[in-house]
Amino acid sequence: MSAPTPAGTAAGMAIVAQAPSQADTTKGSVGTLACSVASASQEKYPSPQTRAIVEDLAQDLAVLTHSASLGAFPNGNCGSRPALTPPRGRVVPGVQQARVSAVTPRSGGTAEGGPTPPPAVWRRDLERLEARLAAQVGSARDAAAAALEKSERLQQAALHRVDHRVITQEGTISKLDRKVSELVGAVRGLSDEMQALVRRIDAADTRAFNVRRELEEELRQKIQEQTHSHQETLSKYRVLSLSCEETQKRLSQTVRRLETTLHEHSLRHEDVGQAVADLHERLEVVVARQGELEVFAAPNVAATASSGKAADVSSEAVTRIEARMLDTVQKVERLRSEAYGDNGWSARLEEHEVRLAGMRSKIDSANEQRSVYDTAVREELEGKLEQIRKMMQVSSGSTLQQHEDLQVLATALRCTDQATEDLRRDLEQARVWAAQGAAANEDSPQSGARFCLEREEVDETNLLQHINTLVHHVKAVVPKVIEHDRTLLEVQALLQPGGQPASGESTKRSAEFKDAHGEPAAAHQGGGAQEAYGGVSFGAHAMAAPTDDRLPPQLKGRAFTVDRLEVP
């Protein structure tokens, strides 16, 4: 219920002023009552009871004003104006009785047109009513003062609590600023470590590219040397085969000539034999004829003496023929011995055939060895080239994947920096809102602190998610870099025969590569495997927070659910 307005009080006082001044005592009582109502209605912090009392006093004032107007005008009206009707309000004990006694006519009078009570009765009623109203107004003033004092005490306590909470909130904000600065330092440390890792990966890629180019150049030179030696071997084999073919042709021609000569000698031998046989037959005929002549010449000695010269001539001719025949027979025997002896033509031909067969077998074996060597060299080179091609493809794929992961890491770092800046701005805005909320809203002083704490928890959760994502990306990139370097080492070892470096230059370059990248080593200790490469060590353990001094207290006891990563 609202308190009566000053306008209503002024209206009541105006009505009292309009009443005729026949009874000064009544006028003074009504004026005092109106002043009491006005003073009660002007309280700063009226209680509900005080408001009800003031409203009832206003209603009683209206009733008294109406009664006074009736006493001044016995007929109950002023001109053509009807009598005032008392307003209806709340029923307050003590006030309703006074109201009824004031309105109810006395000594048989009526409210309209009846006789009015005497002024003494009105004075007594007004005095009683004034005393009762004064007591009620005093009690209302005491209640209002107590309520005002209580409200002031409550206000002071609320202000004290608000001040205490504002001080607590300022301490919380300072702690939050310190935590955020520590978290920003940790994130900057992670960012620096990631940048160092990125630079190391770039250097490893550069060295890997240089090693790959050197390996390709060395492999190209070796292939060229192998091709050149293969071509030289092929040319030597071609020259040797051509010389063997020419020798074989010459031997074949010699054998054919020997066969032709042997055939001619055999034909001549047959002719000589035939001639010797003819000469033998002719000699036999001559000897027979000579015997016959000697038989027939005995009686004719004288006749033969004359013909002695002719016989001597014929014997000399026979002797020469026999000597020629002996020479021919000796030549034929010598040719036969040369042709069919131990070192004759047949033995020489057989020896030449054996030599030709040996040379042919050597040439065939040399051709087979050359073909086998060509096949083996081709298969080995093709296998090594295929392995190198596959390794280069895998290395290129891993390099592309590493570049993509590095881009993702850079994006994650930018997002983390942006989240840190957003967190800083939100903290500053939360501080401003907390100050404004503490000054504007006294009933809810904890809203700014609660909002700051909730925003701090949300930002810490988001930052932890960013850090976990960053560590996951780091964990995914480091093994790929190690595998990339290990693949390069395997390619370098594969290029050497038997997997071992053969040349001093290759050994020196491999040592420089290992010194530059670090030798991968695996050690099984405790419950998980650890592996170190190029100054970066990781293992199958839970990853703890990188430096506890650089992290806020909320992050010191938390462990990331990824493998342990240590970047110097």
- How far apart, in Å, are the Cα atoms of 408 and each of 186, 401, 468, 501? 20, 10, 14, 39
381, 226 Cβ separation under 8 angstroms? yes
Residue, of 564 and 185, whose pLDDT is higher? 185
pLDDT at 239: 85
Residue 333 lies in a domain: yes
Residue, of 150 and 65, whose pLDDT is higher? 150
Residue 261 lies in a domain: yes
pLDDT at 407: 77
CA distance 199 to 194: 8
CA distance 211 to 260: 71
Residue 279 lies in a domain: yes
pLDDT bracket for residue 371 (50, 70, 90): confident
**What DSSP assignment string belongs to 87-145?**
PP----TTHHHHHHHHHS-STT--TTTSPPPPHHHHHHHHHHHHHHHHHHHHHHHHHHH
First to last CA, the chain: 76
Residue 294 lies in a domain: yes
Q: How many separate domains does the chain show? A: 1
Three-state secondary structure call for residue 406? helix
Residue 197 lies in a domain: no
Lowest mean pLDDT among 101-110, 142-151, 207-216, 474-483: 101-110
Which range of residues forms the domain containing residue 278? Answer: 236-368
- Residues 489-510 have a mean pLDDT of 53
pLDDT in tens, 187-228: 888 888 888 888 888 888 888 888 888 888 888 888 888 888
